[in-house]
Amino acid sequence: MVNKEFEELILKYDILEKAFDNIRLVDPAKNRVLDLSGTTTEDTELKCFESLGKNKVCDNCISMRAYHDNRPYVKLEYSMKEIYAVIAIPLDLPDRRVIMEILKNATSSLIMESNQSNIYSEVQELIDKMNNLALKDSLTGIFNRRFINEKLPAEITSTKFSGKNLSIIIADIDYFKKVNDTYGHLCGDRVLKKFAKLISQCLSREEDWLARFGGEEFLICLPGADLKRTAEVAERMRKKIENSQFDCGPYQFKLTSSFGVSTVTPGMNITMEQLMEKADTKLYEAKNNGRNRVEA
């Protein structure tokens, strides 16, 4: 606990204002900055990521992570050739949990005088690597299970405010164990990488995302898509896999895959686990019904 004398010292010298460039409250479930001018916290039209010059939600959103884990997080971010340190601290209000974001422009502290013209690009690349390290699958380069655990609950929550559906697909490579047993695990890794690439080519919208769920299973999230459209996307993926050739050294072969689809409608009370279980059940239906098919 901070003692009273220290609290008074902070207030007297405006330490927080002097130490940081911006302090704000955000609701990461809505991606909105909150207005503190009144007696209650109200949503504004300003989206939290816009202040950093971005046009979409950050993949590695520490405010959402702080929101779900109920603990503070820190990350580095960049915008317009400036580097920011961002601290996200969860606060529980009477009606909801919000995040206090503390931003500090650390450009001058991190980038010293240099004759190298590409110094900023190098720092930018380093920050991207740091932020992606925890959320990207090292083999395929797509998102990993941790990203699913952090992002999917937020996508489900957003359906309550957007009034739009949310659909997911769970995809599985048919008889993948046979690939490993026949051609070896290195070949299996090459298959997984190409499978992820082919699936990602079927996603046309910026808000859609793909993650490796585990082993040869992948999860595809389509915010705003209904069951019919999602089943059509899954069918397009199925055909693309079926019509592609996989190469491992001297070996060339074909593969098939199976897909399970599930959807959340606005107002539906469902958890991430329940949504994924529904899609997984449909996937097993596809397997039991002969594989190389979509069940929705």
184 Cβ contact list (under 8 Å, min separation 6): 248
Alpha helices in 102-226 (DSSP H): 107-110, 119-133, 145-162, 176-183, 185-200
**Which pLDDT score is estimated for 11?**
54
Range of 60-69, 237-246, 267-276 with top mean pLDDT: 237-246
Whether residue 243 has pLDDT greater than 90: yes
Range of 5-14, 32-41, 143-152, 194-203 with top mean pLDDT: 194-203
Q: For 118-130, what is each residue's pLDDT tens digit?
A: 666 766 676 666 6
Residue 227: band (very low, low, confident or very high) from pLDDT cuts 50, 70, 90: very high
Whether residue 57 has pLDDT greater than 90: no
Of all residues in the chain, the percent with pLDDT exceeding 90 is 47
**Cα separation, 154 vs 132, whole angstroms:** 18
**Cα separation, 260 vs 227, whole angstroms:** 11
Q: Are 253 and 246 in contact (CB under 8 A)?
A: yes
Is position 216 annotated as part of the catalytic site?
A: yes
Q: Are 17 and 30 in contact (CB under 8 A)?
A: no
**Which pLDDT score is estimated for 39?**
60
Helix or strand (DSSP H, E) at 87: strand 82-92
Q: For 2-47, what is each residue's pLDDT tens digit?
A: 456 655 654 554 655 666 777 888 888 788 888 866 666 777 778 8
144 Cβ contact list (under 8 Å, min separation 6): 135, 136, 137, 211, 212
Given 77, 155, 216, 295, the catalytic residue = 216
Q: Which residue has the higher pLDDT, 102 or 240?
A: 240
Please give the CATH superfamily to which domain 145-295 belongs. Reverse transcriptase/Diguanylate cyclase domain (3.30.70.270)
- φ/ψ of 226, rounded to 5, equals -85, 180
Q: What single letter denotes the amino acid at residue 184? A: G
Residue with the two structure tokens 């655990």: 149
Whether residue 198 has pLDDT greater than 90: yes
User: Is 4-133 in CATH node 3.30.450?
Assistant: yes
Q: Mean pLDDT over all residues of the chain?
A: 85
**Cα separation, 33 vs 51, whole angstroms:** 10
Whether residue 241 has pLDDT greater than 90: yes
Q: Are 52 and 60 in contact (CB under 8 A)?
A: no
Query: Which of the residue ranges 29-43, 58-72, 142-156, 166-180 would you say has the lowest mean pLDDT?
Result: 29-43
Q: For 73-87, what is each residue's pLDDT tens digit?
A: 888 877 767 788 888
pTM of the model: 0.76
Query: Which residues of the chain form CATH 3.30.450?
Result: 4-133
Whether residue 1 has pLDDT greater than 50: no
Of all residues in the chain, the percent with pLDDT exceeding 70 is 82
Query: Which residues of the chain form CATH 3.30.70.270?
Result: 145-295
**Cα separation, 24 vs 249, whole angstroms:** 55
**Which pLDDT score is estimated for 103?**
84
